[in-house]
Every structure is written in structure tokens, then in C-alpha cells.
């Protein structure tokens, strides 16, 4: 097995162009498990840990550009204010060790339907910055990034450089059901992001379909019927939960049944919107 160790982004892109079959390695919390369990035997590993710029983030005009290697622990400690939904999701990932090594870039690379960063990225209209030596930079909306179970929109010679996301315009919440409280892959998950300036609510479902996805009909319902100055209408809330559950197309597996997942999405959708609405009205009153 070749072990490629670029020290700059330009070298990393050149190495990926030269050997598109090389498997990128960031925190290694997915890749090393797969190698240890012989799930994959890559002909080459492309170790990105020396490319320092991948582990940095910046902000311009309220838009955050977060390097692919920024670990969950940094998102929690440094970005919890502007990106609260993603920070909440990050807090639920694995253990402190996994949160210190694991990255959103790796979560995106793995593209598991159960990855915890995906629902808040979808709810906040995040954009993934991919790059290749041949084609340069490509900006891919999160909603177009997930193509199938553990399949994403990256081309063989592309690497993830960063993701871009706006600072929260209103309250954001993430909820995850697991078979225990910590160190658990989601049975299913749900994220909500309020954008009061646009009178819009973003959503994201995890582990409830072949790919992470938005609950578009539930979003449309709120865009049409939500009164942003009033308490939540219980009938509207109920309909929101139903439409969120209808957006799911889950499977039965060892972690839960499809029926249970649909029910849990309904509950989490209503719960997260209620929490967010409580904050929204509280901020207006303050």
C-alpha cells in the first residue's frame, strides 16, 4: 500500500490527480476502522493531516468557511455561537477522542446516511467546496452532495477543501435518537434552522433514508402558513411532524424499524421546532 503524505493543498491535489484511487485520510476514525476490519484494502492512502490549512476556519460577511479537517471539538468550542445546530450535532458524535480526531470533512467523505453533521448542514443550506487539479474549485450545495448510501458527488480526483455556511439567522436545534445516550450511531436524527429574516425554516433528516435529506414539503408548509409573530399553532405543528415523517423512506435494520424511525422523525420534528419557536419568541420579547 502506498502512503502519500503531502504537506500542502497543492501537493494533495496533485497526488489525488496522479492516483485517483488513493483514499484520503483525515482523522481516520472511519478509514482506519474499515482497514482494521478489512472492509477495504486501499492501494494507496492519501494522508491529509499535514496540510495545515485544512484545519483552519475563517469568516467573511457572516459566512463561515470551515476547513475539511476542523475537528468536532473545535466546532463545539469555537463555532457554537454562529453554527449552533452543527455544534449540537458535533456534541453527540462518538466520544471526546473521536471528536478530537473526527472531522466534518470526513463525515462528508464517508457520506453515511447516519452521519451527524449532515442534517444541520442541510438545514442551514451549507455548500461543500470540492477541488481537483484538472477542474479547480466546485461548490456543491449540501442538498446535491449526497447521492446514495455512502456515496457522494465527489469525482475520483476531487478532494473536499471546506464547507461554507451562513451564521445562524435564528434558533437552530438538532435531535438524535440512539440506542443509548453516548457513543452511538443515530437510529435517526433531525435538524431545524429558523431564518426569521426570510420567513423560512430549514430542515434535515438523518438515518431515515438512503441519504440525508431535507423535508421539503414540511418546509413549504411552514413557509406558507407560519405566523412568525404568534405562538405555534398546534395543528400546524402536527402537520409539520407528519410531513417530516413522510419525507423519510427508512429501512428496518439492527438499530430500529422503519415504522419506529418514521414515528421518531415526527416526534423530533415537532420537538425541535417547538424548542426553536420558544427561543424565537423569547428573543423577540427581550
Ligand X SMILES: Cc1cc2nc3c(=O)[nH]c(=O)nc-3n(C[C@H](O)[C@H](O)[C@H](O)COP(=O)(O)OP(=O)(O)OC[C@H]3O[C@@H](n4cnc5c(N)ncnc54)[C@H](O)[C@@H]3O)c2cc1C
Q: Which residues bind ligand X (CB under 6 A)?
A: 23-31, 33, 48, 68, 92-94, 98, 101-103, 105-107, 109-110, 115-116, 154, 159-160, 183, 185
| Type and span of the H or E element at 204 | strand 200-206
Please, what is the minimum distance in Å from the beta carbon of residue 103 to ligand X? 4
Closest CB to ligand X among 17 and 110? 110
Nearest distance, CB of residue 221 and ligand X, angstroms: 28
How many other CB atoms are there within 10 angstroms of residue 166's CB atom? 17
Q: Which C-beta is closer to ligand X: that of 50 or that of 284?
A: 50
H helix count then E strand count, the chain: 11, 13
Where do we find the cell 414540511? 218
Closer residue to ligand X in complex, CB, 110/281:
110
Report the distance separating Cα 220 and Cα 148, nearest Å. 24
Q: How far is the CB of 14 from ligand X (least distance, A)?
A: 14
Q: Are 184 and 175 in contact (CB under 8 A)?
A: no
Rounded-to-integer distance, Cα 66 and Cα 162, Å: 5
140 contacts 127 by C-beta, under 8 angstroms = yes
CB of 101 to ligand X, least distance (A): 5
Residues in CB range of 33: below 8 A, 6 or more apart: 39
Closest separation in Å from C-beta 24 to ligand X: 4
d(CA 246, CA 215): 8
Supply the minimum distance, in Å, between the C-beta of residue 23 and ligand X. 5
CA distance 269 to 266: 5
Q: How far is CA 246 from CA 193, 213, 235, 243, in A?
A: 19, 12, 17, 5
Rank residues 184 and 246 by Cβ distance to ligand X and give the closer one. Answer: 184
Nearest of 27, 28, 54 to residue 40 by alpha carbon: 28
Pairing of strands 2-4, 44-47: parallel
CB closer to ligand X out of 94 and 170: 94
Cβ-based nearer residue to ligand X, 109 or 256: 109
- Minimum CB–partner distance for residue 270 and ligand X (Å): 23
116 vs 266 by CB, closer to ligand X = 116
Amino acid at each position: 500500500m502506498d502512503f502519500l503524505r503531502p504537506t500542502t493543498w497543492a501537493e494533495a491535489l496533485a497526488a489525488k490527480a496522479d492516483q485517483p484511487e488513493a483514499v484520503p485520510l483525515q482523522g481516520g476514525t472511519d478509514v482506519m476502522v474499515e482497514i482494521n476490519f478489512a472492509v477495504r484494502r486501499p492501494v494507496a492512502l492519501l494522508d491529509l493531516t499535514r496540510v495545515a490549512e485544512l484545519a483552519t476556519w475563517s469568516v467573511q460577511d457572516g459566512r463561515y468557511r470551515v476547513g475539511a479537517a476542523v475537528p468536532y471539538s473545535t466546532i463545539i468550542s469555537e463555532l457554537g455561537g454562529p453554527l449552533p445546530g452543527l455544534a449540537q450535532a458535533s456534541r453527540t458524535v462518538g466520544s471526546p477522542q473521536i471528536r478530537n480526531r473526527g472531522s466534518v470533512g470526513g463525515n462528508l467523505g464517508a457520506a453515511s446516511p447516519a452521519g451527524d453533521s449532515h442534517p444541520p448542514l442541510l438545514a442551514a443550506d451549507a455548500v461543500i467546496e470540492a477541488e481537483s487539479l484538472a477542474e479547480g474549485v466546485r461548490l456543491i450545495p449540501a442538498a446535491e452532495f449526497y447521492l446514495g448510501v455512502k456515496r457522494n458527488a465527489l469525482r475520483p480526483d476531487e478532494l473536499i477543501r471546506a464547507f461554507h455556511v451562513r451564521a445562524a439567522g435564528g434558533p437552530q436545534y438538532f435531535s438524535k435518537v440512539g440506542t443509548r445516550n453516548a457513543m452511538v450511531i443515530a437510529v435517526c436524527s433531525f435538524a431545524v434552522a429558523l431564518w426569521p429574516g426570510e420567513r423560512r425554516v430549514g430542515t434535515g433528516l438523518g438515518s431515515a433514508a438512503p441519504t440525508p435529506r431535507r423535508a421539503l414539503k414540511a418546509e413549504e408548509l411552514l413557509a406558507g402558513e407560519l405566523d412568525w409573530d404568534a405562538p405555534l399553532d398546534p395543528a400546524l405543528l402536527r402537520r409539520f411532524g407528519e410531513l417530516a415523517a413522510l419525507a423519510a423512506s427508512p429501512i428496518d435494520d439492527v438499530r430500529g424499524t422503519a415504522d419506529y424511525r418514521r414515528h421518531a422523525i415526527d416526534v423530533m420534528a415537532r420537538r425541535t421546532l417547538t424548542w426553536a419557536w420558544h427561543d424565537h419568541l423569547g428573543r423577540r420579547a427581550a
